[in-house]
Amino acid sequence: MPQSRFTWTLLLISAFFLGVAWILYSREPVEEINLTSAEAPAVGYRAPDFTLQTLSGEPFTLSDQQGQPVVLNFWATWCPPCRAEIPFFQAASRKYNGQVIIAGVDDGEPADRVAPFVREMGITYPVPLDESGEISRIYRVSSLPETVFIDRNGVVQNIHLGIMNQAMLEERIGQLLEP
């Protein structure tokens, strides 16, 4: 009986190592990520350019904003944390008017759903509509809200996942305004 247990243990260990070896041998090679491409926004790299229609019908092109810092806040009307932080973005938009561009990119909703919400919330900053969710995919937005801070040269300086309070938002904007 002890010989049999030893044999089974040896077989199980051998099967384990053969399995690991097979997994390592047969796995797909990891492709190198080109962080300068439009598909991989990252801190320290150029923000992917895009053009979206705003709720007011005007085009919003990120590269047209170069020369001024930009704060992109990805949100949706159904998102309670987004609703909670919108007043902070509205206050910052008023406070830093002419110094920083704040844009609230609505993720995946039609204009007829967004417009009443924007009126209700009193949003006056640009609201580009990403109805198809394409820009959110390019920016790899994993959850809402998500905020991307872009310097005046078009380089991503910070990406914040989740809700922001007024102090956090103003601190990050202050960092964008530093010479």
pLDDT tens digit sequence for 125-145: 999 999 999 999 999 999 999
**Locate tokens 């900053």: which residue?**
125
3 state SS of 165: coil
Can you give the pLDDT at residue 27? 58
Cβ partners under 8 Å of residue 4, min gap 6: none
Mean pLDDT of 171-177: 96
- What local confidence, expressed as pLDDT, does residue 2 receive? 58
Q: Residue 37: is its pLDDT beyond 70?
A: no
Question: What's the whole-number mean pLDDT along residues 69-86?
Answer: 97
What pLDDT does residue 22 have?
62
CA distance 119 to 110: 15
Residue 104: pLDDT above 90?
A: yes
CA 109 to CA 116: how far, in whole Å? 12
Q: How many angstroms from the chain centroid is the CA of residue 14? A: 45
Average pLDDT of every residue of the chain:
88
User: Which of 150, 85, 137 lies closest to 107 in space, CA to CA?
Assistant: 137
- At 1-20, the pLDDT tens digits run 556 788 887 777 877 677 66
Give the CATH fold of the 51-177 domain. Glutaredoxin (3.40.30)
Are the C-beta atoms of residues 47 and 62 closer than 8 Å to each other?
A: yes
CA pair distance 12, 22, nearest whole angstrom: 15
pLDDT of 82 higher than 80: yes
Q: Where are the domains of the chain?
A: 1-30, 51-177
Compare 164 and 19 and report the one with higher pLDDT: 164
pLDDT at position 171 over 70:
yes
Neighbours of 51 (CB within 10 A): 12
Q: What residues pair up with 147 in beta bridges, in sequence order?
A: 73, 160
Q: Is 127 helix (H, G, I), strand (E, B) or coil?
A: coil
Q: Measure the CA–CA gap between 125 and 127, rounded to whole angstroms.
A: 6
**Residue 34 pLDDT greater than 50, yes or no:** no
> What secondary structure does DSSP assign to 34-84, as a single string?
-TTSTT---TTSBPPP-EEEBTTS-EEEGGGGTTS-EEEEEE-TT-HHHHH
pLDDT given for residue 126 in this prediction: 97
Q: Is the pLDDT of residue 36 over 80?
A: no
